């Protein structure tokens, strides 16, 4: 992680979800993350990628043109399909400014991330009836950031 200024002209965020290609394995996801972190750092794009039950949910933030160009490339990637734009908007500051790309696989029993897993699972299972915080909301991503930071602190101690 490295620090980026939180305020930047034309700061923009975009959220999408997609279904992973059934042949995509853990090592391929690790490769995707490594490349994304390297490229995002060069383009000053930050964000968070969540993986749950063969679905990706991603939050990207940065200069609008750069984020939209990246999203266009993401849509062409055959490692996932059913790509759905959830939300996009101008923002005043970054949520994940110190992360090139936060990542969490919400598989298995993890007490610290159980709340986040419940929110994501309700959204994946039935987006139309999910209530409260969901990945279309900036508040969801603020909560996600806090949960991931707390989880990392506990893991490091």
Domain boundaries, the chain: 11-156
Radius of gyration for the chain, computed over Cα atoms and rounded to the nearest angstrom: 15
Q: Given this model, what pLDDT does residue 139 score?
A: 78
d(CA 56, CA 61): 16
Query: Residue 2: its pLDDT value, please?
Result: 46
pLDDT for position 3 = 47
Q: What is the mean pLDDT of each run of 10 residues along the chain (157 residues)?
A: 54 93 90 91 94 92 95 95 92 89 81 74 65 69 83 75
Instruction: Give the domain 11-156 fold.
Output: Alpha-Beta Plaits (3.30.70)
Provide the CA 62 distance to its chain's centre, in angstroms.
13
């Amino acid at each position: 992680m490295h620090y980026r200024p939180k305020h930047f002209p034309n700061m923009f965020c975009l959220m999408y979800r997609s279904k992973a290609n059934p042949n995509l394995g853990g090592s391929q996801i690790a490769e995707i993350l490594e490349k994304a972190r390297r490229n995002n750092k060069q383009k000053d794009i930050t964000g968070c990628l969540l993986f749950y039950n063969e679905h990706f949910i991603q939050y990207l933030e940065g200069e609008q043109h750069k984020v939209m160009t990246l999203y266009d490339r993401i849509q062409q990637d055959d490692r996932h399909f059913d790509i759905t734009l959830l939300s996009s908007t101008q923002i005043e500051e970054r949520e994940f400014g110190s992360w090139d790309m936060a990542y969490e696989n919400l598989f298995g029993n993890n007490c610290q991330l159980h709340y986040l897993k419940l929110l994501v699972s309700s959204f994946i299972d039935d987006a139309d009836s999910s209530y409260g915080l969901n990945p279309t909301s900036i508040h969801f991503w603020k909560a996600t950031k806090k949960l991931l930071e707390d989880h990392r602190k506990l893991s490091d101690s």
